[in-house]
Amino acid sequence: MTKMTLKEVYRRGKQELERSGTPDADFDALCLLEHFFGADRTALILHGDKIADSAVCRRFFSAVAERAAGRPLQYIIGKWNFMGFDFLVGEGVLIPRDDTEIAAEKALSLARTMSAPRVIDLCSGSGAIAVTLAKLLEQSQVTALELSDEALAYLRKNIEHNCADNVTAVRGDVTKDFDLFPDGSFDLIVSNPPYIRTKQIDTLQRELAFEPRIALDGGGDGLFFYREIVAKWKTKLRPGGYLVFETGEDEHEPVALLMKRHGFTEIGFELDLQGFKRATFGKI
């Protein structure tokens, strides 16, 4: 490989991503540049004419090729930020999404009204919600339930990586293992369960094909896990406890109805930036 300056590396990386039709090519090229060379936009302006190390260049362009083939940026970099905390990610675990901040923020504001809240995050994946709540609520005790062994390995790493000593990871099936916990064990249940309709999964953006199907598939109508959780976990809340769900675009109404039928009151929604009701919650 001929010698290239940092600026040339960035431009060529960006062009290769653009040519492959990668959305946000500029952003992705900059993230990869920062990851491999430790150079952000300011460093690019200040030191862009310096010759880039050729071994690092080779690693950078091989990552660009992976990204151009559709592998999510977050898996290439190996970590992603969620609400100010770093989460290690890779194939086998869902990448934490900005949308999930809406349910996490709602859970946080409800838990802040409680002293030493006992919280469980069902379908915890990387632990994005569980670890964030535990870090921001020092007195809390948070349980994180997850079925997939691959995801559970990331969950455990993320608890350690963030020194979240008040989180306990539990391997369990949300549809079967509710009796691991006595009734009234929790003040708050939060969950971002799989909620994509089975038939829709293959029609979504190509990056999703890299993410675990078990993290996405919410059954024929997308509501399978909401039904299971509401019915099987409501008694695990103490009277007056809260359930907070992340909900997909068309799911807030049926989920709210389901919660109402199971005795939840004070049902409400939280909107995302596009105005979608992205979190649905209620009190038992």
Q: Are 270 and 277 in contact (CB under 8 A)?
A: yes
Q: Which stretch binds ligand SAM (CB under 6 A): 68-76, 188-196, 251-259, 260-268?
A: 188-196
The three-state secondary structure class of 129 is: helix
Q: Please state, in angstroms and as integers, the Cα–Cα distance from residue 226 to each residue in 18, 122, 183, 259, following that order.
A: 39, 11, 19, 9
- 129 lines the binding site for ligand SAM (CB under 6 A): yes
Q: Which residue, 125 or 282, is less far from ligand SAM as judged by CB? A: 125
The three-state secondary structure class of 145 is: strand
Spatial separation of the C-alpha atoms in residues 223 and 197, rounded to whole Å:
8
Q: How many residues of this chain bind ligand SAM (CB under 6 A)? A: 22
Q: Are 277 and 271 in contact (CB under 8 A)?
A: yes
- 74 lines the binding site for ligand SAM (CB under 6 A): no
Among 89, 123, 159, 164, binds ligand SAM (CB under 6 A): 123
Q: Which stretch binds ligand SAM (CB under 6 A): 15-23, 67-75, 120-128, 232-240?
A: 120-128
- 94 lines the binding site for ligand SAM (CB under 6 A): yes
- 282 lines the binding site for ligand SAM (CB under 6 A): no
- The DSSP bridge partners found for residue 279 are 246, 270
Among 146, 187, 251, 270, binds ligand SAM (CB under 6 A): 146
Closest distance of CB 128 from ligand SAM, Å: 4
Helix axes 54-68 and 25-37, enclosed angle (nearest 10):
150
By CB under 6 A, name the binding residues for ligand SAM. 94, 96, 100, 123-126, 128-129, 145-148, 151, 173-175, 192-194, 214-215
